[in-house]
């Protein structure tokens, strides 16, 4: 009897332990919370990943704040988050400010296009040459009936109205990618404002986040702004067809985005820019976006974070295209997975 009783107690203890390890009880030591912050560009996709992962891992809580790339990098450097996110890969100077005991690993997790959206009465489709859209954001193309705009849009009646330019107010990786592209196609733009997360725009009203720019363009007649393709798609915003480096006019799509990404090889440091892709079928403004992680983590968080990251690179990739993102190329996924495996317990 005593032996049977001991076996019963042992079995009960094992059941209780298994419940705790699976998150079956509230408040157990196995509960892990991961805090992230940063780019608004990939926020809809990350939110979908984190929600789906949390539903199948009830012991894991993931909180991601869409505050812009600049704030995400700052929070990561300040160690107030477990991971950051940025559309502008961290610079060597920024990396040098991270605690050397923790280290930095940049992980491209998804990619997407940046589109130019507009709100002009009775104008449903808009083609913009490189000179035209660089001039609009430089403030040298000031009116909708400017010859540079009319030339590529025969038969379209444009108003004799000022162009209301909308730009990002916050420190933004989307802005960095957009201004890097404008600097690549326009020597005047390269001289100033130049490529920056928060440039000194010569023209435009400011709105915060991709969400803010979308809302401003939607509600402001004769306006134009730059946003992430997924936001434009989800809000049914019109998107300009842009002239690329080869002189072709290309609309943003999965195929044209993949053509742009295919023109660049991912180096070992995981940082690659496609500032002005050459292929004829490539959309001209495409970028990877990065999660910023430390190389060392508390042993309770490390396996959870690694599993979450690999989920995003595997099952999570199925969510990319429906939300307007470009699925990651297989060689890039393999390279990122290998980097995730090098993360270690502190």
Number of independent structural domains in the chain? 2
Using an 8 Å Cβ cutoff, are 110 and 321 in contact?
no
Domain assignment present for 17: no
Q: Does residue 197 share a domain with residue 269?
A: yes
Two tokens at 162?
A: 């000022």
Q: What is the C-alpha separation between 256 and 275, in angstroms, rounded?
A: 14
Q: Does residue 203 come out as left (phi exceeding 0), alpha (psi in the -120 to 50 range) or beta?
A: beta
Q: Does residue 131 share a domain with residue 101?
A: no
Looking at 247, 269, 286, the residue that finishes a domain is: 286
Domain assignment present for 8: no
pLDDT in tens, 137-195: 999 999 999 999 999 999 999 999 999 999 999 989 899 999 999 999 999 999 999 99
Looking at 286, 302, 329, the residue that finishes a domain is: 286
203, HSE (Cβ side, Cα atoms, 13 Å): 19
Q: Does residue 155 share a domain with residue 282?
A: yes
Specify the DSSP element, H or E, that contains 25: none
Q: What is the mean pLDDT of the chain?
A: 91
Two tokens at 298?
A: 């508390």
Sign of CA dihedral 167, 139, 156, 219: positive
E strands of 104-254, at which residues? 105-119, 127-128, 164-168, 205-207, 223-228, 241-243, 249-250
Domain assignment present for 161: yes
Q: Does residue 261 share a domain with residue 135?
A: yes
Looking at 263, 286, 309, the residue that finishes a domain is: 286
- Whether this model's pTM surpasses 0.85: no
pLDDT number for residue 1:
43
Domain assignment present for 282: yes
Q: Does residue 171 share a domain with residue 92?
A: no
Backbone angles phi, psi at 43, to 5 degrees: -55, -45
Using an 8 Å Cβ cutoff, are 42 and 231 in contact?
no
pLDDT in tens, 63-110: 999 999 999 999 999 999 999 999 989 999 999 999 999 999 999 999
Domain assignment present for 16: no
**Domain enclosing residue 241, as ranges:** 113-286
Q: Which of 8-17, 29-38, 118-127, 321-330 has the lowest mean pLDDT?
A: 8-17
CATH number at residue 140: 3.40.190.10
């Amino acid at each position: 009897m005593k032996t049977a009783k001991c076996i019963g107690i042992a079995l009960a203890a094992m059941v209780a332990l298994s419940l705790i390890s699976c998150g079956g009880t509230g408040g157990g030591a196995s509960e892990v919370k991961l805090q992230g912050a940063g780019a608004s560009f990939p926020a809809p996709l990350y939110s979908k990943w984190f929600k789906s992962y949390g539903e199948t891992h009830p012991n894991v809580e993931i909180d991601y704040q869409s505050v812009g790339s600049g704030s995400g990098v700052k929070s990561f450097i300040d160690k107030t988050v477990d991971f950051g996110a940025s559309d502008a890969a961290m610079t060597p100077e920024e990396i040098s400010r991270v605690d050397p005991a923790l280290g930095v690993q940049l992980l491209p997790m998804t990619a997407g296009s940046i589109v130019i959206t507009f709100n002009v009465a009775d104008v449903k489709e808009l083609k913009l040459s490189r000179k035209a859209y660089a001039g609009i954001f430089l403030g040298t193309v000031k009116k909708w009936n400017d010859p540079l705009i009319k030339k590529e849009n025969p038969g379209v009646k444009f108003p004799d109205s000022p162009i209301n330019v909308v730009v990002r107010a916050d420190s933004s990786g989307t802005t960095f990618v957009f201004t890097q592209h404008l600097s690549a196609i326009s020597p005047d733009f390269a001289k100033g404002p130049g490529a920056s997360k928060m440039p000194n725009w010569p023209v435009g009203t400011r709105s915060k986040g991709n969400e803010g720019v979308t809302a401003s363009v939607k509600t402001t007649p004769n306006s134009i702004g730059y946003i992430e393709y997924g936001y434009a798609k989800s809000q049914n915003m019109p998107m300009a067809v842009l002239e690329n480096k080869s002189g072709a006019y290309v609309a943003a799509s999965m195929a044209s985005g993949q053509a742009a990404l295919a023109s660049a090889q991912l180096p070992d440091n995981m940082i690659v820019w496609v500032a002005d892709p050459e292929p004829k079928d490539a959309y001209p403004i495409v970028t990877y976006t990065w999660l910023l992680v430390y190389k060392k983590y508390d042993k309770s968080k490390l396996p959870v974070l690694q599993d979450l990251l690999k989920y995003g690179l595997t099952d999570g990739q199925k969510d990319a295209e429906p939300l307007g993102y470009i699925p990651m190329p297989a060689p890039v996924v393999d390279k990122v997975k290998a980097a995730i495996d090098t993360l270690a317990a502190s």
